[in-house]
Structures are given as C-alpha cells and as structure tokens.
C-alpha cells in the first residue's frame, strides 16, 4: 500500500514538474545570454564598438554555438534576439536558432558564444517571416572590436549584420556567411506561456507578461547601451526640451520596430 502511494506521488510530481522543467530550459538560455552580454561591460576594450551598437536595430546573442567539422563543418546554436523600440529601449527577447555549414579542411569541435548586431529592420523581418541566410539575404561582416574600429575594418558600418564570437573570455569578429537564423517558436510559446504568441507581439511589447529572466537580460543590455547616442526622433524631442544637443554628437540611424495600427502612423525615413 505504501509503495502504491509513493508511486502515485511520483507520477503526480512528474506530470506537474514537466512544464516547469521545460520553462527552466528557456530561462537557462536567457540567463546564459545575459552572462555573455555582461562580459561586454567587463572588457569594453574587447567588446562591440559603441558606434556600432548606437546604430543597432536588433541584437542577437547565441551562447555556446557548437561547431563540428571533419572535412565538412556544421554549426548549431540557440539564443535570443531583441529589437529597439520607439522610445530607444529594448524589447522583450524572442528565441532564435542559428544553423549552418562550412567547407574546407577542418577537424574537431568548438563551442563559442556568438553575438549578431543587425543594422536594418529588413534583416529581422526575414527572420520573423521564415529564415534569414547570412551573406545571401543580408550582407554580413566580421565585426570590429573595441571602442574604435581599426584601420582594416568597415568603419562606416555599411553591412547589414555584424558578427562576433567569444571564446576564452575574449571577443573577436567571426565570419558566418551561409549560416541561417530562424525563430524558435516552440521556445517562445513555452517561455511566454502562449502557443499563439508571435515574434511581432514579443517585439512590440503587447502586454504579454515577461518572466524575470527576460527582464534581467534587457536590463543588462540596457546598461551596455544606455549612454549611446539617441535615435534621430528621440534626439529631436530632447532638443525641443532643453536645446543643448552637442553639435558634434554622433546621431544613430536606428529604424525602430514600431507596430503602427495604420500606414499613416508608420515611421518616415
């Protein structure tokens, strides 16, 4: 009788713990991404240049991307992505996947953290609508490192996406041509508790309650970018209030993800 009682308790606890375990997996992914961004604060001379982040429309962080190669290579990782809002803040994170292959002689396995900096909304739209292939659907370049770009980097930041990797605590630009980025809709549903939630709803902040792990990620990223130049619309509002905008301050070219209700409300370039 006691054995039957213990078995019943075990079965009940297994059923009730299932959703919690699934949710904790997504929270762990967000927490790992938060740790990667936190490293940008600790080593600013070896991080993403502020001038690039000031132009960022979206940022993706994919912890522990596995690259395996024996003649042909394969790359796979899971992470999160946020977009910049109309008020210059960051949205809640949506879950993404990174997959890709590579050619040439290679052997062994490697795990690295990857950061993608997106300059345009069209690149993010490609992900939300299906898949974005880096280097094909959007131009990509290995990102420059540090507070200022070196002599051999794309100092004008003309590429649509810039990619970074972190291994042994140091950041470096990395080539990711051919890799594909897609939405992880199953993870989004588990994390936000809704099978119907869309990436657009997550990015627009449409009243969906976000778990604390999401808030922590946004806060850490905000700490990394809060001192950066404002987007043009925000700068204009600030100048109307105090008219003290420095003439030589760098102004970003951010295009935000505003979810307007009609075409007349869409941002104008």
The per-residue pLDDT for range 3-42, each reduced to its tens digit, is: 444 333 333 444 344 444 444 799 999 999 999 999 877 8
Cβ atoms within 10 Å of 125's Cβ, excluding its own: 14
Average pLDDT, the chain: 74
Nearest 10 degrees: Cα torsion 83, 257, 23, 42: 10
Contact (CB, 8 A) for 69 and 108: yes
Beta strands in 129-201, from DSSP E residues, in sequence order: 131-133, 140-142, 161-167, 170-173, 180-183
Q: Longest C-alpha distance within the chain, in Å?
A: 81
pLDDT in tens, 229-262: 544 333 333 344 344 444 444 433 444 444 444 4
Q: Which two tokens stand for residue 181?
A: 């980025």
pLDDT above 90: residue 83: yes
Contact (CB, 8 A) for 80 and 61: yes
What is the DSSP code (8-state) at residue 247? T
Question: What does the pLDDT read at residue 94?
Answer: 97
Closest Cα partner for 255 from 241, 237, 267? 267
Contact (CB, 8 A) for 129 and 185: no
Comparison of pLDDT for 45 and 155, the residue scoring more: 45
Band (pLDDT 50/70/90 cuts) for residue 49 is: confident
Cβ atoms within 10 Å of 169's Cβ, excluding its own: 10
Q: Which two tokens stand for residue 193?
A: 């508790």
Closest Cα partner for 229 from 41, 38, 53? 53
Q: Please, is 92 exposed, middle or buried when counting C-beta atoms within 10 Å of its C-beta (0-12, 13-18, 19+)? A: buried
CA distance 228 to 56: 11
pLDDT in tens, 126-144: 999 999 999 899 998 888 8
Q: Which two tokens stand for residue 36?
A: 């990667």
Q: How many residues are present in the chain?
A: 269
Beta strands in the chain, from DSSP E residues, in sequence order: 58-70, 72-83, 94-102, 107-118, 131-133, 140-142, 161-167, 170-173, 180-183
Question: What does the pLDDT read at residue 66?
Answer: 85
């Amino acid at each position: 009788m006691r054995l039957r009682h213990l078995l019943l308790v075990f079965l009940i606890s297994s059923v009730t713990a299932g959703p919690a375990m699934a949710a904790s997996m997504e929270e762990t992914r967000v927490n790992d991404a938060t740790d990667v961004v936190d490293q940008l604060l600790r080593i600013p001379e070896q991080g993403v240049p502020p001038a690039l982040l000031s132009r960022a429309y979206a940022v993706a962080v994919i912890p522990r991307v596995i690259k395996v190669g024996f003649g042909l290579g394969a790359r796979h990782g899971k992470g999160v992505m946020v977009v910049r809002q109309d008020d210059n803040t960051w949205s809640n994170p949506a879950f993404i996947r990174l997959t890709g292959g590579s050619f040439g002689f290679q052997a062994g396995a490697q795990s690295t953290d990857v950061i993608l900096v997106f300059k345009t909304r069209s690149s993010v739209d490609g992900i939300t609508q299906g898949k974005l292939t880096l280097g094909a659907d959007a131009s990509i370049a290995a990102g420059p490192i540090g507070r200022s770009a070196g002599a051999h980097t794309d100092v004008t930041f003309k590429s649509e996406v810039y990619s970074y990797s972190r291994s042994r605590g140091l950041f470096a630009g990395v080539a990711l041509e051919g890799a594909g980025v897609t939405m992880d809709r199953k993870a989004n549903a588990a994390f936000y508790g809704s099978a119907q939630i869309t990436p657009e709803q997550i990015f627009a902040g449409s009243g969906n309650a976000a778990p604390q792990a999401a808030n922590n990620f946004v806060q850490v990223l905000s700490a990394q970018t809060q001192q950066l130049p404002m987007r043009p619309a925000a700068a204009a509002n600030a100048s109307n209030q105090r008219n003290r905008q420095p003439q030589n301050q760098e102004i970003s070219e951010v295009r935000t993800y505003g979810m307007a209700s009609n075409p007349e409300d869409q941002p104008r370039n």
